[in-house]
Amino acid sequence: MYLTIEERELIMIYLAQNKSKREIARLIWRSHTTVNNKIKNNSVRGKYNPSKAKHKAYVRRLHAKKNLKKIRCNNKLEEHIYEKIQDDWKCELFKPDGL
């Protein structure tokens, strides 16, 4: 779920006011899970900063796109992954053999 810079700034302000994550979620009309995950994943050294949070989210999306391109460029790997997904495969268990 994408947050606007205004929502990120409100999260920082509300955290500084010692509001709970659930209360922050209610105030910005978002799920408490979304707010909790954004704070957990985008904080730097235990502090939530809106601009740094936006940058961390951007970097994660960028790496995800690069990894997808790696799969798309390797037909053998793409076919193998497609077959495994069809067999209800769990990604964490995958270790490629000779790919």
Which residue did the predictor score with more confidence, 70 or 89?
70
Decide: pTM greater than 0.85. Answer: no
CA distance 31 to 46: 21
Q: If you ran DSSP here, which 8-state letter would residue 17 be given?
A: T
pLDDT at 2: 76
Instruction: Copy the structure tokens of residue 3.
Output: 């947050």
The mean pLDDT value for 1-24 works out to 91
Which residue did the predictor score with more confidence, 20 or 74?
20
**pLDDT tens digit sequence for 44-67:** 888 888 888 878 877 777 777 776
Which contiguous run of DSSP H or E holds residue 88? none
Q: If you ran DSSP here, which 8-state letter would residue 97 be given?
A: S
Task: Please provide the average confidence, as pLDDT, over all residues in the chain.
Answer: 80
